[in-house]
Chains A and B, each alone.
Chain A
Amino acid sequence: MAQPAPLYIVASPRPRIGKTLIARLLMEFLRQSRRPLVGYDLNPREPTLAERFPKLVWPVNIADTRGQMELFDRLLADPASTQVIDLGYGPFDQFFAVMREISFVQEARRRGIEPIVLFVADPSAATVRSYAELRRRLPATFVPVHNESVALMFANEDFPPTRADCGLIRIPRLSPLVRGVIDRPNFSFNAYMAKQSGGPTEVHQWIGNIYTEFRDFELRLLMGRLTSSLGGAPAPAPRRKGRRVR
């Protein structure tokens, strides 16, 4: 049985929360597996992801219907590829409004595409409200992402994943001293990982940890699908410590 192709939507209603960095990491992680891959950058003013991956990522402006067709029709037309969307905070509301209005999730599933919202969580009340509202209104799979560089802690119960087996994805903090390394215009996580002549550095460990998170997440998704196809209830993801703030 063919597995549904994931459509990852990296999203947050807040700016400067690390969405593009997470999308970059995900793109490079997925690239390693040599699966067909395509990305969409929905930051019309600053298409950083598209600039990083000019042959893989298309900048799209969904402010008008033509742009919406360019994005959503193309997503549906490509069920063979793993797709990644870097959703800027500007078009955040409009993106999900259109998605809901055109019943995109249902159609995507019908075509063998599984929309997965990687929601970058933070403890602000607006973000918590936004997550709850989206989960209520959209039948997609929601997975909270904890970017420890921008939010030290949040309450787990504010960001329950749609599926118990998915858990959350943790992006560990990288010390500011080496942060500049990964921000270099031509920096590639995969190329950096391939060069360890002087032994693993903090950046190597950081990338390795994140790739492990992504790998675990994909495995949990796969296990969940297999378990449900066998008629059982998926096992909940292991709980992480140290995130609860109240």
Chain B
Amino acid sequence: MAKPTVVVVGADKGGVGKTTVSRTLLDYFTAHHVPTRAFDTESPKGTLTRFHPDISEIVDATSVSDQMRIFDTLSTTDAGVTVIDVRAGLLSPTLRSLRDIGFLDAVKKGQLTFVVFHILGSSIASLNEIEETSSFAADGRYFLVKNFINNTSFFEWDQPTHASYFRKFKDAVEINIPKLNEMAFEQVELASVPFLNFVANKGQKGEAANYSFVLRGYVRHWLGNVWGEYDRIKLTEIIAGSGIATSGPRVQVVSRS
């Protein structure tokens, strides 16, 4: 039987683009035909669910009953991959909870595959978070994501400082999310559809839409580069290593630069 895979996307700071990264991951898994479900911990409002209502639901990560909804169903759900978009400030508490409920032990025993995407902000404080969060993912895969989508300049990331931090975490792999044209990003937000649907000129239910070709082109190019980063870290192999089949060829909607 395939091992369930849990992908946690989070940061201890708000506004760094966690949900955007989660959306690109859901699109990536969709394109690879990987059955996926998602939990949006922006309770009670939810942002991820606006874009992926069919496969995501809103939960309160601090509530025991909702934790049960996520983790007690891992082995029974049809979805091989569970993506959890963790609300700002809750990454460390969530990881601590995972340790406390024995989830990390199961990862250590090889019963589960665990992947953490830690979205970094532009400050040194953000670098300080790495030390704590990376320790929880010692038996999983830990990725540090620099998100340039909202034009983050990472101005405080003095190179020597940055290098000295990263040297401490040899197993951490860096991922760069490039900037997306503002108007294109805004139009996808207004359309409230997955990036894939926008590129394919489709609405939420797969109906024909009438988005600008220019904006779709910008999104397609950007998504291609983001997926290029996921290909680089061999994300499909990590999933496949869990025994989850990535059936069929990837949906070809992207171009790489």
Contacts and interface: CB of A to CB of B under 8 A. Distances in A.
Interface of A: 65-66, 68-69, 72-73, 76, 98, 101-104, 107
Contacts of A72: 213-214, 217
B220 A65 contact: no
A8 to B, nearest CB: 20
Given A72-B214, A73-B214, A107-B213, A102 B220 contact: yes
Interface in B174-222: 181-184, 212-218, 220-221
A102 B213 contact: yes
Interface in B195-253: 212-218, 220-221
Given A72-B213, A73-B213, A76-B213, A102 B183 contact: no
Contacts of A73: 212-214
A26 to B, nearest CB: 25
A49 B24 CA distance: 44
A102 B182 contact: no
Nearest to A99: B217
Nearest 10 pairs of A and B residues by beta carbon = A102-B217, A65-B183, A69-B214, A72-B214, A101-B221, A69-B212, A68-B214, A73-B212, A76-B213, A73-B213
A65 B182 contact: yes
B255 interface: yes
B212 A101 contact: no
Contacts, number: 40
28 contacts: A65-B181, A65-B182, A65-B183, A65-B184, A65-B215, A65-B218, A68-B214, A69-B183, A69-B212, A72-B214, A72-B217, A73-B212, A73-B213, A73-B214, A76-B213, A98-B214, A101-B218, A101-B221, A101-B257, A102-B213, A102-B216, A102-B217, A102-B221, A103-B221, A103-B255, A104-B213, A107-B213, A107-B217
Contacts of A66: 183
Given A101-B257, A103-B255, A69 B215 contact: yes
B178 to A, nearest CB: 12
Contacts of B214: 65, 68-69, 72-73, 98, 102
A81 B184 CA distance: 28
Contacts of A107: 213, 217
Contacts of B212: 69, 73
Given A65-B214, A101-B218, A102-B221, 6 more contacts: A65-B215, A69-B183, A76-B213, A98-B214, A102-B214, A102-B218
Nearest to B257: A101
A101 B219 CA distance: 10
A101 B257 CA distance: 8
Contacts of A69: 183, 212, 214-215
A144 B218 CA distance: 29
Contacts of B215: 65, 69
